[in-house]
Structure 1
């Protein structure tokens, strides 16, 4: 959403006169969430496939005012969910101008801000903080220090002549700097256990402690963390006292239906050329097949980024073909999938026994996915006119490949009865049908007929494919 202009109010007195009421972060989240629920608006838009499972749990957690841990395999939208929650904050909130920790003008908490508020009264200057800036994030790494998250002594301020015991010598870490906001910690188990201990006070007492300072600094903060299940045993763990301080632990998951996977791809993939609906379904089926394959380490999972990257790659393959052979409106085809599988291997963790067979596993699951979608979409459609092309003894073949233009593919095949039915089943509109879409449909039918053993297929040394004798 584009930002609106911040309110024109610039002093504490004007803020009081406007009727502004102070709310904590968790009160903001609760009340704004309730407003969306009462208006039947999506509470956390853009989170596909989680509407009936994860989102209700998150809603209950926010209404209860709890900090939370999101637990799930990679690519299940944990970070996206954390960032989406920030959309429930007020668009603009007032802060004391110049405050390092974004104190509310009604509730100053640092010694310097309290002194300024006492001295200036209603003339205390204020500024406005946008909700996009009120969300902070840190990827937990083993070298993260307490100073990074909480704060440390600032030697520069001591060099300026301030006393070591003066709280003004503190350099605040990330958590205090997102006071009155939301802070996300990705991969929480990767934090060293002694650093996790430093979060105890933040979560329970809502204050911070820095190198023995008697520093009472009440933080108004929503803390969200993410973790992968295998982290509890492989790289690290969330220590038990810290887990106890989070109000909720919510398990995320991958999209549970093919349609949800397709919706996610449509939302997230940045396409450079057209990708037909049936090809999106094949990629979604491929991703689902890998998530249940015994050859894949399911503890690591198959990220949603796999299907998104696969879709973007077949789109790029079509764009490349269009640039080389001069197609104005290239369309991705089923034959583009084998060419891009190798680039996706890095997104998968294979079981130890599959070493050296990675390409074979991917190709097998891709063939199974194609056959499944072919049966789903074209069962009951009379395809005898396609098989009849190869039934005669004249050695008829059709050659296709990554660099075969759609016009060349169509030229090899005379008019086939039932093609319009196939296009309708594959959701290709007759009003704006293009040669690329027709070629993509024909290639899908030919591959499906081969996988169901109704025609033959062979590969050429050039990388092209021959269907027929």
Structure 2
């Protein structure tokens, strides 16, 4: 096989003898996409929540051989999907050796490759490039030039004695250098309109024009782009002729369900399990607190006090999950614990990791903190109602009405907080439900605090908070 590591063709003649067949990049992608569809496999892994919405549209676009623009708010995996498309290319591809634009040995388009093939014929040297090298990407910025994307005259080559009319004096831009591959432009509306015009030929005529050169450089490129809908008014727009040349426009979205957001968080967040001089330290975030972090993002996306035009990225959930874990780690290290479990006390860390990612809209100055606290409480209450049945907490409320008082706080160790379940016997049943039978001090302490906070937010217990400590008692 021509694509086996130790048995690849090294010349044009060997390549022809091997039976290798040249095909356009879109046909190559289509064939691999068809194989995935037939096998019932996703086009790529690592992107969740789009199985029934975005992915069918993307499959259609690839089967149709379309160039695609992904339209959606920040943090919706647009770039990740585009980069993952390289997995639908052949693992290795032959090129004319030394070609700057990955010339097809069968159909060279650059002067360098044409001259080399004309001179050497079947002895023309062939190199092989991996599919990862067949991907090019440019973040659109207002200062991006035609030279960056398409190409420009190389003054050094001119200084070496070549004539300006010599095609070999050209320095190819990023698009030609991604010939026979996939090229992506992120935040396309940020590209100035006059530069967008330079892409029209790439998308329709499949060639490029550089300065005044009378050359036709027919490129084989699959063009992908991403854009934020708000960019059309805030920073620019995609010009109509360019937008018309994209075969498909696919709208992305944020996770529609909390569980999807949770799955993405757990996939992307960094583990905070560490080694210390005293041995390994682990951090565990209970499932109900993971749900609280995800629910916080969902509430923010529907809140009238959050600017929805700027979006609430999934990165918010990932950062908040990491901040929650980090606060638990810091608290646990100070108390000398080695098996640390996050609890409600640690949710205060979400303010620092959230403020830079969401835009609060408030008439009154300085209300950001209060709005953030309200969203956190709303998330805790929502999850509490979902995971703790009211029937299991009636006895707890009764115990407090009979005089029970509970103290919690960040400075309390897990063992001290877990002891509350022994003092208020009625807590044992709902605690066991939340911990799944885990009787470790960290798990019990986290469950106790979550139940008490949930009852307070449900207006069934009073709470006096001061300096990182809290006291829960009956409302009567």
- The reply to whether TM is greater than 0.5 is yes
Give the drift of 1:424: 5.8
Tell me the residue number matched to 2:355.
Answer: 345
Q: Output one character per residue of 1:36-86: Cα deviation in whole Å (capped at 9) or x when no partner.
A: 110111123221111101111111011111111111111111111111222
* Residue among 410, 424, 441 paired with 2:418: 410
Q: Output one character per residue of 1:273-310: Cα deviation in whole Å (capped at 9) or x when no partner.
A: 22111111111111010001111111111001001110
- Whole-angstrom distance in 1 between the partners of 2:83 and 2:292: 30
- Residue 143 in structure 1 maps to residue 148 in structure 2: no
Tell me the residue number matched to 1:27.
Answer: 27
Give the drift of 1:455: 1.6
Tell me the residue number matched to 2:454.
Answer: 448
Tell me the residue number matched to 2:310.
Answer: 300
- Whole-angstrom distance in 1 between the partners of 2:177 and 2:429: 61
The answer to whether the Cα contact below 8 Å between 1:92 and 1:128 also exists between their aligned partners in 2 is yes
Tell me the residue number matched to 2:443.
Answer: 437
The answer to whether the Cα contact below 8 Å between 2:306 and 2:358 also exists between their aligned partners in 1 is yes
Give the drift of 1:175: 0.7
Give the drift of 1:257: 1.0
Distance verdict in 2 for CA 1:214–1:232, change over 3 Å = same
SS at match of 2:305: coil
- Whole-angstrom distance in 2 between the partners of 1:13 and 1:419: 80
- Whole-angstrom distance in 2 between the partners of 1:182 and 1:289: 37
Give the drift of 1:8: 3.5
Summarize the alignment of residues 314-353 of structure 1 with structure 2, pairs less than 5 Å apart: 314-351=324-361, 353=363
- Whole-angstrom distance in 2 between the partners of 1:126 and 1:384: 77
Distance verdict in 2 for CA 1:13–1:415, change over 3 Å = farther
- Whole-angstrom distance in 2 between the partners of 1:415 and 1:133: 64
- Whole-angstrom distance in 1 between the partners of 2:364 and 2:268: 31
Give the drift of 1:464: 2.3
Normalised TM-score (structure 2): 0.92
Tell me the residue number matched to 2:381.
Answer: 371
Normalised TM-score (structure 1): 0.94
Summarize the alignment of residues 212-291 of structure 1 with structure 2, pairs less than 5 Å apart: 212-272=212-272, 273-291=283-301
SS at match of 2:101: coil
Tell me the residue number matched to 2:371.
Answer: 361
The answer to whether the Cα contact below 8 Å between 2:408 and 2:449 also exists between their aligned partners in 1 is no
- Residue 209 in structure 1 maps to residue 209 in structure 2: yes
- Whole-angstrom distance in 2 between the partners of 1:261 and 1:66: 30
Q: Which runs of 5+ in 2 are unaligned?
A: 273-282
Q: Output one character per residue of 1:6-28: Cα deviation in whole Å (capped at 9) or x when no partner.
A: 75332222222222111211011
Distance verdict in 2 for CA 1:429–1:97, change over 3 Å = farther
SS at match of 1:47: coil
Tell me how large the CA RMSD over aligned residues is: 2.0
Tell me the residue number matched to 1:460.
Answer: 466
Distance verdict in 2 for CA 1:444–1:178, change over 3 Å = same
The answer to whether the Cα contact below 8 Å between 1:149 and 1:173 also exists between their aligned partners in 2 is yes
The answer to whether the Cα contact below 8 Å between 1:6 and 1:92 also exists between their aligned partners in 2 is no
The answer to whether the Cα contact below 8 Å between 2:299 and 2:379 also exists between their aligned partners in 1 is yes
The answer to whether the Cα contact below 8 Å between 2:323 and 2:349 also exists between their aligned partners in 1 is no
Distance verdict in 2 for CA 1:398–1:55, change over 3 Å = same
Give the drift of 1:352: 5.5
The answer to whether the Cα contact below 8 Å between 2:421 and 2:427 also exists between their aligned partners in 1 is no
SS at match of 1:250: strand
Give the drift of 1:87: 1.6
SS at match of 1:99: coil
SS at match of 2:407: strand
Q: Output one character per residue of 1:388-407: Cα deviation in whole Å (capped at 9) or x when no partner.
A: 553343x6332222x43212
The answer to whether the Cα contact below 8 Å between 1:271 and 1:311 also exists between their aligned partners in 2 is no
Aligned residues: 462
Q: Which runs of 5+ in 1 are unaligned?
A: none
The answer to whether the Cα contact below 8 Å between 2:421 and 2:428 also exists between their aligned partners in 1 is no
The answer to whether the Cα contact below 8 Å between 1:381 and 1:422 also exists between their aligned partners in 2 is no
Give the drift of 1:412: 3.9
Distance verdict in 2 for CA 1:451–1:7, change over 3 Å = farther
SS at match of 1:309: helix
SS at match of 1:238: coil
Give the drift of 1:435: 2.3
- Whole-angstrom distance in 1 between the partners of 2:428 and 2:14: 69
The answer to whether the Cα contact below 8 Å between 2:185 and 2:225 also exists between their aligned partners in 1 is yes
Q: Output one character per residue of 1:135-178: Cα deviation in whole Å (capped at 9) or x when no partner.
A: 22111000111111111000000000000011110001111111
The answer to whether the Cα contact below 8 Å between 2:76 and 2:252 also exists between their aligned partners in 1 is yes
Tell me the residue number matched to 2:280.
Answer: none
Distance verdict in 2 for CA 1:238–1:254, change over 3 Å = same
